[in-house]
Amino acid sequence: MVRTAAKTTSRIATHMGIAFALTWLMTGSAALGGLAAVIEPIINVALLPLHEKAWHALARLARTARQRMLALGLEKLSQTGLHIAVAFGVMAWASGSLAFGGLAALIEPVLNVIVLPFHDRLWDRFGKSGHKETEQHHQHENERNGAYPGQTLVA
């Protein structure tokens, strides 16, 4: 549970870092970068539960597996559109430029799609190595405590 919270916090920080870096690079202002990095996630966090609630209500109307899959695909497209709209709105508001808003709406989601899978792979790799070390420690402890082969004294 602690690992999941740490991974989620790291994921949010990565997303905020991308928003900050993109805004800073486009405007040259660290203040606007910080503003975008804070405001965009807050708006997304506020809107996503409402978005999910609406789509789950629609998904309940689906009768077949094919309709459920279609609803899920449309939900993900709609969620992407929501993120794009929020990125556009925040950047256009912060910079006063529709061009910067449009550029952010195109680039920020793409950067997240590229960077976040690498982030998750690193966390998965980190988790596997920690799990392997724990298993080896438990095996060593069981052998040291005189366990028969296949018997577990330390779980």
User: Residues 81-90: pLDDT tens digits?
Assistant: 988 999 899 8
Here the tokens at position 116 are 């976040």
- Region 19-44: mean pLDDT is 88
Here the tokens at position 121 are 């792979």
Using a pLDDT cut of 70, give the percent of the chain over it.
83
Residues 6+ apart with CB under 8 A from 146: 153
E-strand ranges in the chain read none
- In terms of pLDDT, which residue wins out, 130 or 10? 10
Q: At what angle do helices 2-27 and 30-60 cross, to 10 degrees?
A: 130
Here the tokens at position 98 are 């529709």
Number of Cβ within a 10 Å radius of residue 101: 21
What pTM did the predictor assign?
0.64
Largest CA distance in the chain: 71
